[in-house]
Amino acid sequence: MANILKDITNQLKVDETSEIFDQKIDVNKRTNNLLSNVDDVEDTLGQFNIKVLGIGGAGCNVVEHMIAARIWPDNVSLYALNTDIKALKRMQGLANIYLLGKKTLRGAGSGGDPSIGKISVDEGRTDIRGALQGTDILFIVAGLGKGTGSGASPEIAKIARELGILTVAIVNFPSVNAEGRTIYENALNSFDVLKAEVNSITRISNDKIISSSKDISFAKAFEQANIAVTNTVSDVVDMVGSASNMNLDFADVCNFFKAHSTFMAGTFNVNNDYTKDLLKDAIKKSIKDSFSDVNIKAENVKVILNLKINTNTPASINNDIRNVFKDLTNNNSLSLVPGVDQVNIEGVKASYLMSANELTDQNDEEEVYGEELTNISTKNTENTTMSDMFKIDDIDLGEYKSKKVNSNTGGVRRETVHFNTEELIVEGNRFNSRDASKLITKAINSVMKKESEPSEFTKKYN
């Protein structure tokens, strides 16, 4: 019996080094190959090519600020494009610079004429197309209203669209009071053209910068626009480039910009004594303090959130944030896509992108429906009947918001309508002919009733 056991033991020892053991090695090899299949992956895989093009004077100023603001990853390239050679030379050695209209304009600038800005792109199309090849996300940064930014930006966006590049525009919008009607109308026209060529766009309002910067210098006030643009681009770069506990990835960001033609960006912080009320106050303040003049009360609102928390942050944080945004946007179907990273910080820090409407949102005003416009002005109104002034045929009229009441004072803000056959401008907001017809019809109806009975607004506030 002892001999039989000895023979079995010896046979087992032999088997360990023969077929059975070999099979174990084969299995382990296959397992190791599967688990280590990223060993030969190129370093550039998962690193997406992001380019920022500052176009015109304001755009180049932003790029200059971006260079000083932080060290950008290797996959982010900054470009300054202008028709003004003196402005470009100031940035030589700091960023990739390109003189638009080199032969035709000879570095003299566009003279504030968008049509000149547009043709300045023509001779450099091949160069620009070559520079954009391989780009995954393109940010176009410009000031609208003058020549190069207004005229060249849509043309460059068109080149990017032809190449299939995801293109996002961040534009600075002029103040009609500070910069004049011509510049403002140039900006309105350029905004519409640019919006049609990009995937998504947001605008930063000089009026909002001016109104929120009463106690600082002119230079520091407009530095706020540079900071706002830099933060927006920086947040997107960090969203797609940083690994975290709950990742936002490149596809999340792309889907957001492809699905929503207008957006706003913001940041908020909550100190270490986290409460839902503090969270709501912080988010509400971030929206109110934003220089973006878009309206967040949009259908199918979506928020992409880049959130940094600590070990004490409650598990309900994502749900709490979504509920706050739902309340502020009046949208129960709001979608929140979070990226969450637990780090060694005090409190909660977050940046976000939120889809929006392009109409202006006055955060401190309550909208009132059906009130008469108090100051209607048209061209050539002498000896003209009401029906002659406003030609409206076969239009589905519906309701339109025609007046706003300042909730702080309860007073009425007077509105002036400038009307022609193509467009309507009310307090700097531009409407197409269909919306103009709705607004004008509401105004006419209200004015016609004015003599016969007091309006609801009058009953309420007088």
Is 60 exceeded by the pLDDT of residue 181? Answer: yes
- Mean pLDDT for the chain overall: 76
**pLDDT per residue over 139-179, tens digit each?**
999 999 999 999 999 999 999 999 999 999 999 999 888 88
**pLDDT per residue over 4-38, tens digit each?**
555 655 655 555 444 444 444 444 445 555 556 66
pLDDT band at 40 (very low <50, low <70, confident <90, very high): low
**Which pTM does this prediction carry?**
0.70
Q: What is the pLDDT of residue 358?
A: 72
**pLDDT per residue over 305-354, tens digit each?**
999 998 888 999 999 999 999 999 988 889 999 989 888 888 899 999 99
Which stretch, 91-95, 96-100, 209-213, 222-226, has highest mean pLDDT? 96-100
**pLDDT per residue over 91-123, tens digit each?**
988 899 999 999 999 999 999 999 999 999 999
- SS3 readout for the chain: CHHHHHHHHHHHHHHHCCHHHHHHHHHHHHHHHHHCCCCCCCCCCCCCCEEEEEEHHHHHHHHHHHHHHCCCCCCEEEEEEECEHHHHHCCECCEEEEECCHHHHCCECCCCCHHHHHHCCHHHHHHHHHHHCCCCEEEEEEECCCCHHHHHHHHHHHHHHHCCCEEEEEEEECCHHHHCHHHHHHHHHHHHHHHHHCCEEEEEEHHHHHHCCCCCCHHHHHHHHHHHHHHHHHHHHHHHHCCCCECCCHHHHHHHHHHCCEEEEEEEEECCCCCHHHHHHHHHHHHHCCCECCECCCCCCEEEEEEEECCCCCCCHHHHHHHHHHHHHCCCCCEEEEEEEECCCCCEEEEEEEECECCCCCCCEEEECCCCCCEEEECCCCCCCHHHHCCCCCCCCCCCCCEEEECCCCCECCCEEEECCCCEEECCEEECHHHHHHHHHHHHHHHHHHCCCCCHHHHHHC
Q: What is the pLDDT of residue 175?
A: 85
Share of the chain above pLDDT 90, in %: 46
Q: What is the pLDDT of residue 361?
A: 42
